[in-house]
Chains A and B, each alone.
Chain A
Amino acid sequence: MKTKQYASHIILVLMSLIFLVPIWVIFASSTHTPETILNGGLQFFLGDNFLDTYRSVLFEKSGYTKHITVLQMIGNSLILALGFAVGKVIISSMAAYAIVYFRFRLASFLFWVIFLTLLLPLEVRIVPSFEVLAKLNLLNSYTGLIVPLIASATGTFFFRQFYKSIPDELLEAAKLDGANSWQFFIDILLPLSKTMMAALFIVMFIVGWNQYLWPIMMTTEPEYSTILLGIKEIYQSNFEGSYLPEFNRAFAMIILALIVPVLVVILFQRWFIKGLVDSEK
């Protein structure tokens, strides 16, 4: 029994190293000078260039056009992630309320319209989406960055599922207590959904932060760059570009791009798991 347990633990620890070591190596390498990396490859031990690298990456303008600092990119990513998550929570909690709690003529039709959004991910309708944004003059704007992403149905299904689990008697009691549909939503349903909202918010924050293709498509001006756009530029300058790679800066960018969502997942573990598992039912 005992030896079997130890074997299990050894396997689990080794597997977790497969996930941890690459991140560690990237981080450790980011604290070295570019010359060390160029000559010696990726580094396993910490160097002494940490402050220099991260200070210059965060606060000096970089990229092709040298118009934006990574700190500003992180700011843009935050705006995208927060705006996306907040918008998603508000819009889907409202739409689900209409679908679950009202009897109205177009209910099932509109439900299927919302459902339809699951069929066609952004990746496959990217060109026409870009054209629509251009026609509406929304390229290079936060509205254009955030709002189209909110369209999909995941959040609506999430709240629909949750509302359906609330006992019918609660609505009946509220009706007898004289609450109208607006009061029931504000006084009863929203306070009851607090945990679910937080859970969905956490998941959507990460989804928003990690958006890649859409920001690349629809921002051409560097002041709207997100950190993931920075990642794309790093790829281009390191693997396709002709000038000298600045490895330490690239590694620092990787760390900065992943540290925020990873911290969010670890710090809000319970909400995150609830949001992820429940939203997919």
Chain B
Amino acid sequence: MLYLELKNVSKNYDGKNKIIKDISLGIKKGEFIVIVGPSGCGKSTLLRMVAGLEDISDGDIVIDKAVVNNISPADRDIAMVFQNYALYPHMNVLKNLSYGLKNRKISKDEIEKRVVSISKLLQIEELLHRKPSELSGGQKQRVAMGRAIIRKPKLFLFDEPLSNLDAKLRHQMRIEIRKLHDKLGITSVYVTHDQVEAMTLADRIIILNGGKIEQIGTPKEIYENPNSIFVSKFMGTPPMNIIKAKVKNSTIEIGDISIDLKNSYNEEYIHVGIRAEDISLSDFNNSIKLRVDIDMIEHLGSESFIYSTIENNPIIVKSSEFIETKEDKLDIYINTKKLYFFSDKEGKIL
């Protein structure tokens, strides 16, 4: 049973300049969906179209079986958390929380009941009589969430809600948002450019690129089976290593080694992907040896990153050892079972 459905949705300004190109997707009730993509990919626009803050140029948006294309934002029964929180600066926390309920003519008793339970849930009871200017970033974030939750909406929309917080707080709030979702079970759509947020929060991830869906899947699927170079490089830190290699009679050559391809392939070049953690510094089963040039080594304490190149292709190797070497060459061993092959022209998985 789909709860939120986008059917061939497009967005353009004045007939040209297409920002969203024919997107279709379905979201189940209670799911936590994260839309992720680089800046300018249209992810915020898509979210705001769901909210009704942007018009739809083409297609339908369906919430809970009803087409909402022409329904005003207030009547779509959705709530949204904004990047800059958008708290009303002249109202205290209590009034910020209850403003939307008042406009919906909900009784005073009910409003009070909800304020009490929400402020308890979010631990903002002490802040109720403060103005937004007297709150810290994390507190503002909580109030913004409270203002959304208190309405008991059908759909919960987040527009990069954590990007104004520092790294530590962002991590903490991330966990709280996921906990809150598990507790309340409200269907949520969350927009971010941060792939870590996407991996940790989502039931399913939608990767958007240039106004089109690049891939949809659970974090595990996306990480293990990226279907394009774009996805493979976008998800995961460090990004997947991609080596451009020449194809010769269904074998490819990298440096002085060659690898057999399972299927024949009739383009001149192919892109070979390997994740940093699938490269080792010592020999193991199914591995092949590559000799690379070391550019730099970065020590993070628990692990080291070796930045190297082979035939002008950068390769990052992750190691749990503290690497110290005076050499400028290094032998690395890559797991042939964990190789990804992408087409040269379109960058799609083969």
Shortest Cβ distance from B81 into A: residue: A173
Point out the residues of chain B lying under 8 angstroms from A174, CB to CB.
88, 99
Interface positions of A from 174 to 188, Cβ below 8 Å from B: 174-179, 183, 187-188
A169 pairs with B82, CB closer than 8 A: yes
A173 pairs with B86, CB closer than 8 A: yes
In the assembled complex, B84 has its CB within 8 A of some CB on chain A: yes
The 8 Å CB contact of B84, one of A167, A177, A188, A191, is A167
Shortest Cβ distance from B144 into A: residue: A173
Shortest Cβ distance from B148 into A: residue: A176
Point out the residues of chain A lying under 8 angstroms from B85, CB to CB.
169
Q: How far is the CB of A45 from chain B (nearest CB, A)?
A: 52
Q: A179-223 interface mask toward B, CB cutoff 8 Å, 1 = contact, 0 = none?
A: 100010001100110100000000000000000000000000000
B90 pairs with A192, CB closer than 8 A: yes
Contacts A172-B53, A188-B88; is A177 near B82 (CB within 8 Å)?
Answer: no
A170 pairs with B100, CB closer than 8 A: no
In the assembled complex, B89 has its CB within 8 A of some CB on chain A: yes
Interface positions of B from 47 to 83, Cβ below 8 Å from A: 48, 51-53, 72-74, 78-80, 82-83
Binding site for A on B (CB under 8 A): 48, 51-53, 72-74, 78-80, 82-91, 99-100, 103-104, 147
A175 pairs with B73, CB closer than 8 A: yes
Tell me the complex Cα distance, A188–B53, Å: 18
B80 pairs with A173, CB closer than 8 A: yes
A191 pairs with B90, CB closer than 8 A: yes
Q: How far is the CB of B271 from chain A (nearest CB, A)?
A: 41
Tell me the complex Cα distance, A174–B103, Å: 10
B83 pairs with A169, CB closer than 8 A: yes
Main DSSP-derived SS at the A contact region = helix
Q: How far is the CB of B88 from chain A (nearest CB, A)?
A: 6
Q: How far is the CB of B259 from chain A (nearest CB, A)?
A: 52
A177 pairs with B99, CB closer than 8 A: yes
Counting chain B CB atoms within 10 Å of each CB, which of A167, A177, A183 scores highest? A177
The 8 Å CB contact of A176, one of B74, B83, B84, is B74
Q: How far is the CB of A198 from chain B (nearest CB, A)?
A: 14
Q: How far is the CB of A39 from chain B (nearest CB, A)?
A: 62
A169 pairs with B74, CB closer than 8 A: no
Tell me the complex Cα distance, A126–B51, Å: 53
The 8 Å CB contact of A177, one of B48, B53, B83, B100, is B100
The 8 Å CB contact of B51, one of A176, A183, A188, A194, is A176
Q: How far is the CB of B176 from chain A (nearest CB, A)?
A: 21
Contacts A172-B73, A172-B80; is A177 near B103 (CB within 8 Å)?
Answer: yes
A178 pairs with B79, CB closer than 8 A: no
Point out the residues of chain A lying under 8 angstroms from B103, CB to CB.
177-179, 183
A172 pairs with B82, CB closer than 8 A: yes
Tell me the complex Cα distance, A167–B159, Å: 15
Contacts A175-B74, A176-B78, A178-B103; is A169 near B84 (CB within 8 Å)?
Answer: yes
Q: A132-171 interface mask toward B, CB cutoff 8 Å, 1 = contact, 0 = none?
A: 0000000000000000000000000000000000010110
Q: How far is the CB of B241 from chain A (nearest CB, A)?
A: 39
Shortest Cβ distance from A175 into B: residue: B73
Give 4 nearest A-B pairs by CB, closest first: A177-B100, A169-B86, A178-B103, A178-B74
Counting chain B CB atoms within 10 Å of each CB, which of A176, A177, A188, A194 scores highest? A176
Tell me the complex Cα distance, A194–B103, Å: 23
Contacts A178-B104, A179-B103, A187-B99; is A170 near B86 (CB within 8 Å)?
Answer: yes
Contacts A175-B72, A176-B100, A177-B74; is A167 near B86 (CB within 8 Å)?
Answer: yes
Tell me the complex Cα distance, A191–B96, Å: 14
Shortest Cβ distance from B105 into A: residue: A178
Point out the residues of chain B lying under 8 angstroms from A170, CB to CB.
86, 88
Shortest Cβ distance from B54 into A: residue: A172
Point out the residues of chain B lying under 8 angstroms from A179, CB to CB.
74, 99, 103
Q: How far is the CB of A135 from chain B (nearest CB, A)?
A: 45
